[in-house]
Amino acid sequence: MAMSMRRALLPLHRMRFSNLKNAEASLEVRYPQPFVVPVRTKKRYFIPPAVGIKGKAAVSADQEAKARAAGVVLRQEYMERAINIACTAGVFDPYIPPEGDARLSSLSKEGLKQRTEQIKQGAASQLAIRKIKEHDAEFTTKAFPVKAQEIFVDAHNALTQFNKEKLHSLVTERCYPEMVRGNRYKTLRWHFVESLEPPKVVHARCPDMVSKGNLYGQVTVRMHSRQTLAVYDRFGRLMMGSEEEPRDVLEYLVLERHLVNPYGMWRLHGKIVPAWAPVKEPIVKTVMIPGPELKPGEEFEELNYEVPKPKAVQWHK
């Protein structure tokens, strides 16, 4: 009984001396402290930490009031962060490629008509090109498409190696997630075999964002080339395409540059997929598509059901 009493009171003894480590102890004055003996309750040596946490949310509201009463002033914390916008959110006034492009040779009558239409290029494009030449002295309709093709090839090579820094310098922030999404744990093998026709500028626009004078230039380049693409999944199995078989690809690339910024660069902004584009090859694996909604009691009739096909609409990526 006496031992347990002494053991119970040991922490109390220790507490008395530990508090004298405060600044007041330096004065070396000890006041006579009364000996408080807890008689009725038994000292609990182990209190789980979770017991003390109850009601902490209510306590914090009191703490705020106490701090203000004590005169502690906390400066307003502004949760702000400056963002730099270096590219537009989409393609403004997208180019609508004429139907049958790259299917008719220039020698036939329809082919000639197409060529003349293309050469005129539309008045708005000419205005836009003039505006671009004001800001960027080195822009020419003849030299630019070659540079655009180089940017395209470099960007896709960086995508296969997944070189983030190089990719960001060649591709705008809007295009980057579209190129990279879902590809992080996949291996891509892409090879640019050759260009079938010399690339050409087909369309140009100069939209200004938010405030007047904040000019961005968007130029569409038409490219007809031969490429190989093979996509392997995480385990090294072929998901799509093939490495040996090259395919002819007709693409409309949109490149963008922040004209007002003197350090701006022409970067890949997106692609335009025309409405008459041929259907893509299906992937290797079979995919389940959701079937029609059936009422209870109805049965699924396979013969009458047609798989819904997507609408042939132009979209830009």
- CA 240, distance to chain mean position in Å, is 24
Report CA-CA distances (Å) from 74 to 16, 62, 66, 151.
34, 16, 13, 52
176-215 binders of another protein (CB under 8 A): 185, 187, 189
Q: Name the segment binding another protein (CB under 8 A); options: 53-61, 196-204, 218-226, 306-314.
A: 53-61
Q: Name the segment binding another protein (CB under 8 A); options: 49-57, 101-109, 296-304, 306-314.
A: 49-57
Looking at 232, 250, 277, 316, which residue binds another protein (CB under 8 A)?
Answer: 232
Residue closer to another protein, measured from CB, 15 or 123: 15
Handedness of CA 132, 136, 141, 145 (dihedral sign): negative
Cα torsion through 132, 135, 141, 146, rounded to 10: -120
Instruction: For residue 65, state whether it binds another protein (rule: CB under 8 A).
Output: no
Instruction: For residue 76, state whether it binds another protein (rule: CB under 8 A).
Output: no
Instruction: For residue 33, state whether it binds another protein (rule: CB under 8 A).
Output: yes
Q: Name the segment binding another protein (CB under 8 A); options: 69-77, 147-155, 245-253, 299-307.
A: 69-77
How many Cα atoms within 13 Å fall on the side-chain side of residue 169?
Answer: 6
Looking at 6, 7, 115, 234, which residue binds another protein (CB under 8 A)?
Answer: 234
Instruction: For residue 50, state whether it binds another protein (rule: CB under 8 A).
Output: yes
Query: Could you give the 3-state DSSP secondary structure of residue 1?
Result: coil
Q: Residues 179, 159: contact at Cβ < 8 Å? A: yes
| Minimum CB distance to another protein, residue 237 (Å) | 6
Q: Residues 252, 243: contact at Cβ < 8 Å? A: no
Q: Which residues pair with 158 in a beta bridge?
A: none
Instruction: For residue 281, state whether it binds another protein (rule: CB under 8 A).
Output: no
Residue closer to another protein, measured from CB, 242 or 261: 242
Residue closer to another protein, measured from CB, 46 or 263: 46
- List the beta strands (DSSP E) in the chain: 187-205, 216-232, 238-258, 267-273, 315-316
Instruction: For residue 19, state whether it binds another protein (rule: CB under 8 A).
Output: yes
Residue closer to another protein, measured from CB, 30 or 142: 30
| Among 219, 228, 151, 158, CA closest to 189 | 228
| CB-count exposure of residue 155 (10 Å: 0-12, 13-18, 19+) | buried
| Minimum CB distance to another protein, residue 66 (Å) | 7
| Minimum CB distance to another protein, residue 184 (Å) | 9
In degrees, to the nearest 5, what angle opens at C-alpha 180 toward C-alphas 176 and 184? 145
| Minimum CB distance to another protein, residue 187 (Å) | 5
Judged by CB under 8 A, how many residues of this single chain contact another protein?
44
Q: Which residues bind another protein (CB under 8 A)?
A: 15-16, 19, 22-24, 31-34, 36, 42, 44, 46-51, 53, 56, 60, 63-64, 66-67, 70, 72, 74, 77, 185, 187, 189, 230, 232-239, 285-286
